[in-house]
Amino acid sequence: MKKARYLVDHIYTADAAAHVFKGRLYIYPSHDIESGIPENDNGDHFDMKDYHVLSMDSVDGEVTDHGVSLDIKDVPWAGRQMWDTDAAFKNGKYYLYFPAKDKTDIFRIGVAISDRPEGPFVPQDHPIIGSYSIDPAVFEDEDGKQYMYFGGLWGGQLQRYRTNRAQECGEEPDDQDSALCAKVALLNDDMLGFSEEPRDVLILDEDGKPLSAGDHERRFFEASWMHKYKGKYYFSYSTGNTHLLCYATGDNPYGPFTYQGVILTPVLGWTTHHSICEYKGKWYLFHHDSVPSGGRTWLRSLKVIELEYNEDGSIKTIEGTA
């Protein structure tokens, strides 16, 4: 069995977004810091107030920590909790997308810009219009169009919205009803906003029916990621409270996507969040666990392990303890 490698041990990092820029592998993680608040379902124990950028020219080689690329004190609209982030490149600029709670404790998604993949990044004065919830992930298709996927339940506040509108008393659907979906929107050419209303990322079962809210082994919870393999679109995500990384496939960036299986079984620590990236001819899964911190779910450490496909394009399941 292949073994995963921890990337850094001088800080706690999680929710890795991995991209190849300028022929080098860059990882954009969240930064776990203790808040001193007891653990709860809203994530108040996560005191995440800045981002570091990591890079390496070999998956087995030395990892460079480029230091703080963005600090919450420099984001005019942000109040607290800078969670999972992602990055993209277009027209000579690098864009860092990040969720943060605004001054009223509502999650929005912001964007910051740099001339370099490692930053530092300069934030815009306001979050993206129409943005909400958490976990932005940006996918560039072969035609150059770039799409943002986002959303997360519970502390991520996705259950508070229907058809992109906030609800008076937002709750998850009943178990027999259709599950809440991640969201996807095409980005503007300037990469600073949505060019359309966000759409549902619909996940179907083997019979073509939407997954139900009570199907906790398969329904979307958080941690959207998109990659493309042999012409197919792979939407991967976390099931949250059942601690699985799963994936579904489709024929276009919007879906619908048909559930296919489990990428990663549960790790030590409550959350599971990942990215999938091809580098130098091999595919890799970046994820995290809480082994180095002794199982404390809000102090996580990044790992990387090779990801493999079967002949039919299905992904070989990786054990979370690997």
Give the model confidence (pLDDT) of 25-52 as tens digits.
999 999 998 877 788 777 777 779 999 9
Torsion of CA 83, 84, 85, 86, to 10 degrees: -170
**Tell me, what's the pLDDT at 237?**
98
Cβ 239 vs Cβ 217: under 8 Å: yes
In the predicted model, what is the mean pLDDT of residues 81-102? Answer: 97
**Tell me, what's the pLDDT at 252?**
98
Is 197 tagged catalytic?
no
Is 50 tagged catalytic?
no
Between 99-103, 110-114, 297-301, the lowest mean confidence (pLDDT) is in 297-301
Per the CATH hierarchy, to which homologous superfamily does domain 5-307 belong? Glycosyl hydrolase domain; family 43 (2.115.10.20)
pLDDT at 17 over 70: yes
**Tell me, what's the pLDDT at 126?**
98
**Tell me, what's the pLDDT at 1?**
58
Q: Which of 9, 15, 115, 251 is catalytic?
A: 15
| Distance separating alpha carbons of residues 71 and 48, to the nearest angstrom | 10
Q: Which of 32, 84, 118, 222 is catalytic?
A: 222
- How do the domains of the chain map onto residue ranges? 5-307
Tell me which amino acid residue 290 is: S
For the chain, give the percent of residues with pLDDT over 70.
Answer: 100
**Tell me, what's the pLDDT at 190?**
98
pLDDT bucket at 82, cuts 50 / 70 / 90:
very high
**Tell me, what's the pLDDT at 271?**
84
**Tell me, what's the pLDDT at 188?**
98
- This prediction has a pTM of 0.97
